[in-house]
Structure 1
């Protein structure tokens, strides 16, 4: 964990522009923001990815993200919407391996967003995929 920059922020040994500091959650401004006001919400207890995240910590992170998104929309910042984004794993774009929720203020034409072209699979494919996920959920709940 010594190379975890977010752990250093939690410990107070790395600089951060803090927005919210609660017993289990910390929120601070992203140093490479996609849009003005972009910030990160993290659990104070280290978890490298979702599989290692304590469910209570996950709930606290999401609730803090929700509250901050609501505050952003009520602020004087020019915001028309908010995205919550969490990358889990390298293929998903995770670069810092401490769970973190991006809270990204949005305005029309700001240039941020998902660029993939959605596919339209048939119902048989959707049902098969749903079954695969249901089976994995039942294994994970044992």
Structure 2
């Protein structure tokens, strides 16, 4: 059976897709730590960063920079954005398929971020989160249409 990201890439599972190209899908995390928590997911099934093709690795940072600009333009992460790759099971990688997190931050959000990290997989408030993801997806799709 495919992993969840392979299933999304193949169109078998839904996602709040913001952008796609030959190497990556960009989507909203369905268990976000902060508003507009974005994932850059490799199209190729590469469990670790070192498993990713050289061409895709070369393009990853450029796409991440473009996404950072779009997030900031849309009002997210103006004070900072965490870029995070959990590379292997001991690093808290839940899905063994390379993906990079962009987590918009603002001053004073650490307590809320830590609480969300502890409770993010609980079913509480999923309908509220789902509605927020839909709004954020439209906003970020529009931001990505801009040239930076």
Q: Which has the higher contact order (CA 8 A, sep 6+)?
A: 2
Alpha-carbon separation, structure 1, partners of 2:23 and 2:29: 19
| Structure 1 alignment gaps of length 5 or more | 114-142
Tell me the TM-score normalised to structure 1 length.
Answer: 0.73
The structure carrying a bigger helix percent of its residues is 2
**Could you say which residue in structure 1 is the equivalent of 2:26?**
27
Partners of 1:68 and 1:36 lie apart in 2 by 14
With 27-36 and 41-50 compared, the bigger mean Cα shift is at 41-50
1:65-89 per-residue CA deviation (whole Å, 9 max, x = no partner) reads 1110111111134742111100111
Q: CA offset at residue 59 of structure 1? A: 2.2
Provide the alpha-carbon RMSD of the alignment: 1.6
Count of aligned pairs between the two proteins: 112
- C-alpha distance in structure 1 between counterparts of 2:63 and 2:71, whole Å: 12
Q: Is the 8 A contact 1:62 1:101 kept in 2?
A: no
Q: Is the 8 A contact 1:43 1:58 kept in 2?
A: no
Normalising by structure 2, we get a TM-score of 0.70
